Chain A
C-alpha cells in the first residue's frame, strides 16, 4: 500500500509518522451530493429499463427506430441497423442497456470507482445520444427544448464531465468550475442555454399551434391531474406559438449570459433556470412520460436542475475569507 508521510507537533516535540494515503471517510460535500444525485438518476433509468416492454422487439422497433426519421442518411442508417438488431435480440439488448446503467449508477455511488463510472457514463451517453435519441433530433429541424432537446442523455455526459473529481485542496466559486476551471465551465453553460434559446425560435417551434400541439400530445395515459393541466395550458397557448417561442428564447438567453454576472444575479438566474426546467419537465415532457407507459428516462428536466445546482455559487472558505480580510486590513 502506498503511504504518505505526515508531520505533526505535540508539546514542542516533532512527530513523524507514516499514515496510509487513504483519506478517512468524510460526509459528502456539494460535488459528491451532485454526483450521488446523478447516480440516483442512472439507477432510476436502470429500473425503467427493466420494465417488461424493454425486453420485447418493440423496444427496438417502436422506441429506437423512429429516431432515424428526418435524420441525415449517415446518422439514420446506424440507428436503423441498431434498432433492427435490438428487435432481433430483444432480451440481450434489454439486459445490456439495464446492465450498463446499473453499472454506472453503482460505480458513481461507490467512491473508489467514481472516475471509471463517470468515464463510462460519458462514453455510454454519447453512444445512446446517437443511437437512442437520434442526436436529440438536432439535425431534423424538429428539436424543441420543450421536448428534451438537445437530448437528455447528452446532459448526462455533460454532468459527468462537470462533476469529475478534481484534485483535493483546490477551491472554486461553484462545483462545475473545479474540474475544468471557471471560464470553460461558464462557456459550457452559455453554449447550452443559448443553444436552447436558438432552438426555441426555430421554424418548427414558431408555428402558431406547434407548442400547444406538443403539449396536447403528452396528455394520453398521464395521471388525470397532469392531463387536465396539459390540456388547459395547450388551450391557452393555441395560436400563440410565435410569441411564446420568442419569449422563451429571451428567457433562455438571459439565463445563458447571467452566468458571467455577479453572484446575486447568478443566483437569481439559476433559480429562473430551475423554474424553467420544472416547467419543461412537467408541461412539455410530462415527467419524461414515465407515468404514461414505458419510458427509458425522466428526460431533461431533472438534469437541467442538477446542472443549475452545479453552477450555484458556493460559500467562500474560511481561509479565503481570512485572506480577504487580511488584504482589507493591510489596505
Chain B
C-alpha cells in the first residue's frame, strides 16, 4: 500500500518542473537574461528521469542511457567545482556575490544521486520494468550499502533548506529614497551591489523553487527505494 496519489502527484510535478526549466532556457536566450544553463539542463534531465522512475508509463530513454547522461553531468559539475575552488578558494564568492563553491557541490550531489539511483536500483530505472518505485521499497535493507541513499537524501534536504533561506535575498524590496546609499557604510554598499547584480537573473526565486522541489522529490525517492 502507498499514499494514494502521492507518487502520481510527484511524477507530474517533476514533468512540470522539467518543462519550466526548458522554458527558462528559451526565455533567457530570447530576453538575454542570465540563467544557470548547466543547472537548467540538469533539472530538465532530472525531472524527466524521475518522472519515469516514479511511474513506469513515463519512462523515456532506453536502458543505460540515463546513466551516461547523469555520469556526464556529474563530470561537468565536478569540473566546475574544481574550477571554482581554484579561482575563488573554498570559502570565496564569485564577482557577483552570488555563487559559492557549494552551488556546484549541490548540483554535483544531485546528479550523483540520480546516477546512483540508476546504478543501484537498475530494476526501477529499466524501461522494461512494469512496477513503480514505491512497490520496490526496502530492497536494499540490511545490506552494507543501505545507508548510502540516506546520505544522499540528507545532503539534498540540507541543500533544499539552505536554498530556501536564500530565497528572500531576491525579494523585491522597494529601492531606498535618495542617492546616498554609500554613506550608510560598507554593509549597505555591498547590499546595493548585490541587488543590482541579482536583477540580471531570470526569475531567481522560481529557479530556487524548482531546485527545492527537485531535492525533496529525489530525497523521497531515495528513502522509499532504499
Contacts and interface: CB of A to CB of B under 8 A. Distances in A.
Interface of A: 1, 6, 8-10, 15, 17-20, 22, 24-26, 28, 32, 36-37, 39-40, 43-44, 47-48, 50-52, 54-56, 91, 94-95, 105-106, 108-112, 221-227, 287, 290-293
B174 A47 contact: no
B30 interface: no
Interface size of B as a range: 35 or more
23 contacts: A8-B183, A8-B184, A10-B180, A15-B178, A15-B183, A17-B176, A18-B177, A19-B177, A24-B173, A26-B187, A36-B161, A37-B158, A40-B157, A40-B161, A47-B216, A50-B3, A51-B137, A55-B2, A109-B160, A109-B161, A112-B168, A221-B142, A223-B143
A94 B3 contact: yes
Contacts of A6: 184
B201 interface: no
A26 B158 CA distance: 19
A224 B143 CA distance: 6
Contact of A221 (B141, B183, B194): B141
B141 A293 contact: yes
Contacts of B153: 44, 47
Given A8-B180, A36-B161, A47-B157, A110 B216 contact: no
Given A22-B173, A43-B157, A222 B183 contact: no
B141 A25 contact: no
Given A40-B157, A222-B142, A9 B164 contact: no
Contacts of B226: 291
A9 B188 CA distance: 14
A51 B168 contact: no
B177 A25 contact: no
Interface in B201-219: 216, 219
A319 to B, nearest CB: 14
Interface stretch (B34-42, B71-79, B121-129, B144-152): B144-152
A14 to B, nearest CB: 10
Nearest to B167: A110
B3 A25 contact: no
Contacts of A18: 177
B101 to A, nearest CB: 14
A278 to B, nearest CB: 15
Contact of B137 (A52, A95, A290): A52
A293 B134 CA distance: 14
B162 interface: yes
Given A24-B187, A110-B168, A111-B165, 17 more contacts: A19-B177, A20-B176, A24-B195, A25-B194, A28-B165, A36-B162, A43-B160, A50-B223, A51-B137, A52-B134, A55-B3, A56-B1, A221-B141, A222-B142, A223-B145, A226-B147, A291-B226
Contact of A223 (B137, B142, B173, B194): B142
Q: Top 6 A-B pairs ranked by shortest CB distance?
A: A24-B191, A109-B164, A17-B178, A25-B169, A8-B183, A52-B2
B4 interface: yes
Given A19-B176, A43-B216, A224-B144, A25 B161 contact: no
Contact of B224 (A43, A44, A51): A51
Contacts of B177: 17-19
Scoring A28, A94, A290 by chain B CB atoms within 10 A of each residue's CB, the highest score goes to: A290
B220 interface: yes
B141 A15 contact: no
B154 interface: yes
B50 to A, nearest CB: 15
Contact of A25 (B137, B191, B223): B191
Contacts of B1: 52, 55-56
A108 B165 CA distance: 8
Contacts of B223: 47-48, 50-51
